[in-house]
Amino acid sequence: MECFDECLNYFKSNIGFTRFMEKTKSKYESLGKISGTIVINNPTNMERQALSGFMKKDYSRNKSISIDLVRFSKRLNETRFSGIDFKHILSEYFGSELVSKREIKEDYETTKSKDFSEILNAHISKKSYEYIYSLLVDKKGMYKRVIELYNNDKRYFFEVINMVCLAVDNLPKTSQKLSIFSANITKNPHYFDYDRIAGKLLIDALTYICNFPKSNNTESISQILYMNNILIDDVSNMVLCKNLIGYTSNKQIHPIWESMCKTNESLQITLSNLSNVSRVKAYNDFVLVVENPNVFTSLESMLDTKRVSLVCTYGQIKLSAIYLLDMLVKENTYIYYSGDIDPEGLIIADKLKQRYGDNIDLIYFDEKTYVNNISNELLSDKRIKKLQCINSEELFEIKELLLKHKLAAYEELNLKELYNFLINK
């Protein structure tokens, strides 16, 4: 022991060995053994003196010194310190056990595997298990972000994973606002807000479980939550409608919807409003859905007191519109849809057709309407490329006309035909 302390002091007391010892430690961490070559560039006089004295070799004129560590260890055994383990010396020199990068990685992987197994075993018979397995074992979805969280804050990692699993295993049976759902699961109404890791992970889980296309846009997020009876109360997510009748859960006509119909007024409804009714019905069991608010308000004026059910999507299919149309279709309401004849208008029509199939008719997406209402607006190549995603056979003819002429035709110019269509229904 006395000899070991003397050897340790020999290296620690001579600063000429400092850089050599630091480089040797790094070499061990890289290789996992005392091996390889240490190069000291631009050595100081004290480094030349210390290494020359130990290795019994003259380095006094060297601009760099190369030391083979196997030879260094043999040289140690030729001194009065023979039999002392140089690795042990290094450990004591730096005040901690030397551990190679490979050993660190192996320990990390062993611990991680144990932690992940603990999570998987806790959810093995639950709905969340399939998702958690895909995330932690198959490394799908948000694996990189989750691993980052695991490495930086393991306690919070366990909390978030378990909260997301709890949420997936206890999805609401009826419509519930996200803030209420979050509060019920975590005691925090903002826990699953999308700007937080838990919110993003919940969306990732629901997307996987429902086999829903991945997307970070607000509408897709709202839709995947809606598919699981969770509503984002977003006042900008509104749909404009007229002459629709909403019923409460006790089968009574909702007073606001009743007042709208009695006064022949239109109504802007949010997801929150829709969550307060269990059924929505249309007059005469059909509804005309238009893309543009100017068309909606113009038809209102032209129809005057004639009772026709109307819906306006404001130029995009927001979740509120989908939610409303879903409720109407459940009541066997037939949908007629009119919109702009341009790439964006055809995409909306296509999405509605794909969703509602035989329950919807895409009206005025034909050659006659296009020719009568064609504008001088040249469509950019970027917009034209959007037509590649059109899948509904009913739109193929008009799609080809757009590809050929690259000019849009707008719904506003088709008001007279829409009015006559409704009058004759």
Q: How far is CA 116 from the centre of its chain?
A: 22
Task: For residue 344, give both structure tokens.
Answer: 């964006």
C-alpha to C-alpha distance for 342 and 347, rounded to whole angstroms? 9
Q: Report the pLDDT value the prediction gives residue 415, as an integer from 0 to 100.
A: 95
Residue ranges per structural domain of the chain: 2-99, 102-231, 286-423
Q: Report the pLDDT value the prediction gives residue 110, as an integer from 0 to 100.
A: 93
Q: Report the pLDDT value the prediction gives residue 117, as an integer from 0 to 100.
A: 94
Q: Report the pLDDT value the prediction gives residue 175, as an integer from 0 to 100.
A: 80
C-alpha to C-alpha distance for 415 and 296, rounded to whole angstroms? 9
C-alpha to C-alpha distance for 31 and 23, rounded to whole angstroms? 12
At a CB cut-off of 8 Å and minimum separation 6, what does 311 contact? 239, 240, 241, 242, 244, 287, 288, 289, 290, 321, 324, 325
In degrees and rounded to multiples of 5, residue 259 shows phi and psi of -65, -40
Task: For residue 362, give both structure tokens.
Answer: 């895409």
Burial code (b: 16+ CB inside 10 Å, e: under 16) for 282-310 equals bbeebbbbbbbeebbebbbeebeeeebbb
Given a cut of 70, the residues of the chain with pLDDT beneath it are 1-2, 233-236
Q: Which of 280, 338, 279, 273 is nearest to 312 (CA)?
A: 338
Q: Residue 332 half-sphere exposure, CB side, CA atoms within 13 Å?
A: 2
User: pLDDT digit string (tens) for 17-50?
Assistant: 999 999 999 998 888 888 899 999 999 999 999 9
Q: How far is CA 89 from the centre of its chain?
A: 51
Q: Report the pLDDT value the prediction gives residue 331, as an integer from 0 to 100.
A: 95
Task: For residue 327, give both structure tokens.
Answer: 């409720």
Q: What is the DSSP string of 246-312?
A: EE-TTSPBPHHHHHHHHTT-EEEEEHHHHTT-SEEEEGGGEEEEES-HHHHHHHHHHHTT----EEE
User: pLDDT digit string (tens) for 46-91?
Assistant: 999 999 999 999 998 899 999 999 999 999 888 888 888 888 989 8
Looking at domain 286-423, its CATH class is: alpha beta
Q: What is the DSSP string of 102-137?
A: HHHHHHHHHHHHHHHHHHHHHTTTSTTHHHHHHHHT
C-alpha to C-alpha distance for 131 and 206, rounded to whole angstroms? 9
C-alpha to C-alpha distance for 416 and 299, rounded to whole angstroms? 9
The residue behind tokens 């210390």 is: 50
From residue 226, how far is each of 198, 222, 233, 366 by CA, in Å?
Answer: 18, 6, 11, 33
Angle at CA 337, nearest 5°, toward 333 and 339? 160
What is the DSSP code (8-state) at residue 372? Answer: H
Q: Report the pLDDT value the prediction gives residue 2, as an integer from 0 to 100.
A: 67
Q: Report the pLDDT value the prediction gives residue 47, as an integer from 0 to 100.
A: 92
Q: Report the pLDDT value the prediction gives residue 235, as an integer from 0 to 100.
A: 64
Q: Report the pLDDT value the prediction gives residue 233, as an integer from 0 to 100.
A: 62
The residue behind tokens 């790094």 is: 26
Q: Is 79 helix (H, G, I), strand (E, B) or coil?
A: coil
* Torsion 110-113-118-119 (CA) sign: positive
**Cβ atoms of 205 and 131 closer than 8 Å:** yes
In degrees and rounded to multiples of 5, residue 228 shows phi and psi of -115, 25
**Cβ atoms of 340 and 349 closer than 8 Å:** no
In degrees and rounded to multiples of 5, residue 13 shows phi and psi of -80, -15
**Cβ atoms of 13 and 47 closer than 8 Å:** no
At a CB cut-off of 8 Å and minimum separation 6, what does 22 contact? none
